[in-house]
Amino acid sequence: MFDAWEIDLHGHEVVYRIAGEGPPVVLIHGMVNASRHWAAVAERLAERHLVIAPDLIGHGDSATPRGDYSLGAHAAVIRDLLSALGIERATMVGHSLGGGVAMVYFWQFPERVERLALVSSGGLGDEVSPLLRSAALPGASALISLATHRRVTGTLDRAGIALRERGSWVGGQLQAIARALRPLESAGQREAFVQTLRAVIDRHGQRVSATDRLYLLRDMPTLIAWGERDRTIPVEHGVAAHRAVPGSRFVTIPGAAHFPHLERPDALAAVLEDFIASTEPARYDEAMLEALLRGRSAARPRSAA
């Protein structure tokens, strides 16, 4: 069972789901998703692993405080949750926004990461769907409030089903939009969504990129998995990241778009199981990180103006 628990962290309720026993695996969801969306993947991984999936602050059933919704803030909450649970090191798996959170978690706490798996991840290029760029614009909050009415999401879902039955890929996109809008019915979650979105996306696209520091993953077992039909974040981002990280593994999930853990959970779980089973956990420490940084960033005197 992928049971839900809650814990008080710094005065805010954080909900997480946990299952299984064995080496820890942490599943980090994307924007307007929640821990429950990992259920099918988690139940399979839990046959050999202890699986923990948090609801990020402002998402799912966790608190929606007025505060910091940056990638670093989300990563720090996950660190605090795992510390409270007595988990020192884990394989980190992140989808979309969660991929960005997982990467920042590694930059901040490299000694706590054994492997890194990025699933249709954000933070690896500028391009992102026009819908997300539009949602980051000033004044979008009012439109989001109207769009999350149940009549609107119900209409989108029904239209998506009809189009999928006709064989159109647009149907799946409409259903994904409806699924994304439903959790935003409360004012607190809408505000948290907008703050999280604007921390990483503006009208030009993704405004936060990890591409300048992927070299730090040189000795980190890294998996990059992408839905082959992803139109939210281009698969080319994953290909480029794979080329930038020596020894990384790149796979596409057939038949999946931006949500492989929902659209093809068995296929994604199998990829994750194979990745974990065929790699040794990394053991980064401060000295390793220092060597990587010194090797790439030579200090030099600054010339006078």
Catalytic residue among 230, 242, 248, 261: 230
Task: Give the C-alpha distances (Å, rounded to integers) separating 227 from 208, 233, 298.
Answer: 21, 10, 38
Instruction: Look up 145 and say whether it is catalytic.
Output: no
Active site residue 258: yes
The pairing of beta strand 249-253 with beta strand 24-28: unpaired
Say if CB 235 and CB 226 are below 8 A apart. Answer: yes
Contacts of 87 (CB under 8 A, 6+ apart): 24, 50, 52
- Best CA proximity match to 296, nearest among 244, 237, 261, 249: 244
Q: Among residues 37, 242, 258, 261, which one is catalytic?
A: 258
Amino acid residing at 75: A
124 neighbors 227 (Cβ within 8 angstroms): no
Structure-token pair, residue 136 = 């980051």
Whole-number Cα distances in Å, 136 to 84, 147, 290 = 34, 15, 36
Could you confirm whether 96 is annotated as catalytic? yes
The catalytically annotated residue of 35, 96, 121, 129 is: 96
Query: What does the alpha-carbon distance between residue 261 and residue 239 come to, in Å, rounded to a whole number?
Result: 19
Cβ-contact 227, 120 below 8 angstroms: yes
Q: Is 263 exposed, middle or buried (0-12, 13-18, 19+ CB in 10 A)?
A: middle
Q: What one-letter code names the amino acid at 141? A: S
> Which residue numbers are catalytic?
96, 230, 258
